[in-house]
Every structure is written in structure tokens, then in C-alpha cells.
Amino acid sequence: MIALALLLAQSAAVPAAVARGEQIFAQNCSVGYCHGVAGAAGRGPRLRGRSFSKDYLYNMTRDGIPSSAMPAWKDRLKDEDIRAVVEYVASLASATDPAPPVNPMPPGAGPAALPSFKGPAAAARGRELFFDPAHENCGVCHAVGGRGIAVGPDLTGKQQIALSDIESTRSRHVLMAKLKNEEEFCALPGERDENQVRLYDLTLAPPVLRSFARSEVTSLVPTPAWRHIDFVRDYSRTELEAIVVYLRWAATGK
């Protein structure tokens, strides 16, 4: 009888975990440049209709993948929440129906490269660096000419941009978000309505779009804690100068 009771409890727990995992996944993972709605492919790989071992899913979710856009969630989610996400993703393996429409990417998103580049060599080098997947590149937060993701300001037409802007230590756009559970993180505001607030969490790269009920967010205030210069540290000064040349060329054509 005890064994039967345990089996019944476990069978009831799995659907509950899947439902909880679906909610967490929707809040943190289902954006166009991550895994997409219901595991449809975004910039990250498709999860829907694919089989993974639960141990693999747990380790990848908890620890992330070094030198990739997949962050570690062990310091962001409770262990039971990670395990709930694992149950949800595992449940997608049997999905044979077409995935729902992929969550719209932010304005300016687009994977296609320009077919040719006719600018000067310095601008070509800057363009390559701006979208270089080997870096935590500029294109995961900014768009230029319809390419990239406009999480932060769209840089199209920014002909007056200077190296000092890229190496800035303050931002008028970034806010410190504080939640009811006392979690704090630097964020860029996304869409909001009377019921929900969406915030790009800048503690992760690429930034993760998270959704909260308005009642969960206790404050959103300007902060000196976030510095743009910290996010371009993988570039040399010469490379940053090339990026400036590219942005000015993209704005003026010369």
C-alpha cells in the first residue's frame, strides 16, 4: 500500500512539475533569440520534438554551456524550479504538432547578413566585429540597419557616436529592478501593460527577457551599477575604434 501511494504521488507530481516548468520556461527562455515559444527554435536550438536525457537537461540548465549564449541558471532559479523546467522540456520530446508561432523578436531583429558590403575596409572590419559570434557581441543588444536585436537603443543613424559612448560608465536607459522576493538585477524595460511587466535581465548574456506580474516588481529606478564598458571588455581599443567607424559609415554611407 505504501509503495502504491508513493507511485500515485509521483504520477501526480510530474504533471504539476511540467505545468510549473512551462510557466518558468515562458518567463525566462521562450524569446526569439533564445529557444522560442514552446521550445520552437529561436536563436537558440529547437527543443520541441527532440529527445534529451533528463540528466543532460538538468546539467545544461543548471551550469550553462561555457563560451556560448546558454547561461547557467543555478544562481537565478531554485533547484526545484530547474527540475520543473527539465520536466517541461522533456515533455516536449513527444510533440508532433506544429509549434505555436515563434514569440516575436524585438524590433530590429533579423538573422540574415547583408549580401555584400561596399564600405571601406575599416568599416567592414567594424561590421564583422559588431556581429561577431565569438564575442558577447554588440548585435545581441543593438540593431543596425535591421540586423541585430534592439534590446538596447537601435544604433541605426547614430552618426555622432563616439568611442566614449561605447566605453561609458553610466547609462540613462538601464534601471535597477527590485522584486517582491528581494531579488535585484540591472534591467532594460520591455513591453508592459496594466497587468504585466517584461524586463531584459542584463546580468545574463545575451540578456534574458523575463515576465512579471506588476505586483511582483516593487521598484524600477536609475542605477549607476551597470557600466557599458564592462560589456565590451573582450574587444581591444583598436577593435572598438573599428566598430565606431562602421556605425558612422552605416549612418552616413561615408
Q: Which residue has the higher pLDDT, 36 or 19?
A: 19
Q: Which CATH architecture has domain 121-169+229-252?
A: Orthogonal Bundle (1.10)
Whether the model pTM is above 0.75? no
Of the listed ranges 42-46, 105-109, 133-137, the least confidently predicted one is 105-109
Alpha-carbon distance of 10 to 5, in angstroms, equals 9
The 10s digit of each residue's pLDDT in 141-180 is 888 877 777 788 888 888 788 899 998 888 888 999 999 9
Residue 33 has pLDDT above 70, yes or no: no
Alpha-carbon distance of 150 to 148, in angstroms, equals 7
**pLDDT for 103:** 39
31 Cβ contact list (under 8 Å, min separation 6): 42, 103, 105, 208, 209
Confidence band, pLDDT 50/70/90 cuts, at residue 113: very low
101 Cβ contact list (under 8 Å, min separation 6): 37
Q: Which residue has the higher pLDDT, 144 or 6?
A: 144
How large is the average pLDDT for residues 192-196?
A: 83
Q: Residues for the chain: how many in total?
A: 254
DSSP summary character for residue 99: P
- Contact 203/185 with Cβ under 8 angstroms? yes
Alpha-carbon distance of 150 to 248, in angstroms, equals 18
Q: Which CATH class is domain 2-94?
A: mainly alpha
**pLDDT for 51:** 83
The 10s digit of each residue's pLDDT in 208-248 is 778 888 999 999 999 998 899 888 888 899 999 999 999 99
Residue 198 has pLDDT above 90, yes or no: no
3-state helix, strand, coil in the chain (%, to 5): 40, 15, 50
Instruction: Quickly list H helices, 151-209.
Output: 163-166
